[in-house]
Amino acid sequence: MGVTVSYDEAKNILSKVANKIPKFLNGPDRVIYLLENTEQLSGEERLLLNNAFNKFLTSMIERDASDIEFGGHGNGNFIWMRIYGKKERVKDLPQFSNDESAVLIINMLNSNQRKALAENRNLDFSYSFMYERKNVNVRFRADAYFDMDTLTLNMRAINPSVRPLEGLGFHPNVLKTLSHTYIKFGLTLVTGITGSGKSSTLDAIIDSHNKMDPAHIVIIAAPIEFVHKSNVAIIKHREVGRDVLSFKEGVIQSLRQDPDIIVIGEMRDPETILAALEVTDTGHKVFSTLHTSSAVESIDRIVAEIHPAEQERVRNRLADVLVGIISQKLVPTLDGKRALAKEVLVVTPSVKAAIKNNNTSEIYMMINQGAPQGMITMEQDLKRLYVSKQISLETAVAYANNKTRIQQILSAV
């Protein structure tokens, strides 16, 4: 069955289902109706819709797109993709009405996921399919949510292979601090906005240990993205919402699972932050992420998330367990692709003292002067990319955290 036939047949099924929606239903009630009635499709119809959607994902992979946007008011019936950092309509793929798109999205979900989506108006989940051209199973991180009372979906492709940690450009001393064989405990944060490559860096760290460290690694994430196969290390994957109820529960339960390394997908609430600090304090090596754009902001965010009465205690505990922070961005290059720009903080006695004394504003200058320990500011790394002719001057300034500082150091080039 060719691509065109699959799309045409899928369109007919989608139109049939959409036409059955009672005319008096409007807004989110139309989506709820579909969530409750999509099971009326036959197994053959569901399989055909699934195959049609997988062809969209195949098209996404072959265009080197990182994300696909499907369905919902904002899409205007088009499928959109992010290709080398830029979102654009894909005009050579079929268009679908909001109702038709909702059916395609709902068809991907099991009954528990449909109930959760109806109740929470949002659902994070993982998805995989067989990419036939290369005979490889490709995984995606997906988020279904409501947009002006219509159902929409973002899916991000998960790289089927892990980039070697040694290829990410870290100083040898930083690689030591990341290694469980060198430092047995402590908290390391990988931070950045959505789409900055945090998960890829965490996977590179995990893969590095998997090659040479006979350790037990427990990964708690929402959703699980790259699935590691146990090699020298044994690796357990616990997806929040499927294998464990919450990040906090996953962290607490991990203490009874004999782990050496615990990877927490995100420290997104005070409970998870406190649990992460506690499990690190008990002598484990912990890696986690935050949605922050600099090392100093990451420290301040953790403390600010906690009740004021507890902040001094948390600040002291954080200073005692924090090993390092990697803050990263993916910046557009002159050849139309993207390069990794990063800020790296290695926690020295001076940094510990600054955290405990609530003098985090001093830490930027410590990073700026910490090259011998492997530290680098975002501005210094953007300068490196500019001097090596990988990015433009405008890009260096645009992606800097400290605009004044970047202009100062670039004026000397």
Question: Over its length of 413 residues, how does the chain's per-residue pLDDT go in tens digits?
Answer: 344 446 888 999 999 999 999 999 998 999 999 998 877 889 899 999 999 999 999 999 999 999 999 999 999 999 999 998 889 999 999 999 999 999 999 999 988 899 989 999 999 888 988 888 888 888 999 999 999 999 999 999 888 789 999 999 999 999 999 999 999 999 999 999 988 999 999 999 999 999 999 999 999 998 888 899 999 999 999 998 889 989 999 999 999 999 999 999 999 899 999 999 999 999 999 999 999 999 999 999 999 999 999 999 999 999 999 999 999 999 999 998 899 999 999 999 999 999 999 999 999 999 999 999 999 999 999 999 999 999 999 999 999 999 999 999 998 77
Give start-end residues of each CATH 3.30.450.90 domain in the chain.
3-158
- Burial 381-390, CB ≥16 within 10 A → b, else e: bbbbbbeeeb
Class of domain 3-158: alpha beta
For the domain made up of 165-376, give the CATH fold.
Rossmann fold (3.40.50)
Its pTM stands at 0.80
Query: Coil, strand or helix: which one is 79?
Result: coil
Q: How many angstroms separate the CA atoms of 53 and 84, rounded?
A: 22
Q: Is the peptide bond preceding residue 308 cis, with omega within 30 degrees of 0?
A: no
Identity of the residue numbered 379: E
For residue 96, count other CB atoms closer than 10 A to its CB. Answer: 23
Please report which residue ranges of 267-377 form alpha helices under DSSP H: 270-281, 295-304, 311-321, 349-356, 363-368
Give start-end residues of each CATH 3.40.50.300 domain in the chain.
165-376
Residue 275 near residue 248, CB atoms below 8 Å:
yes
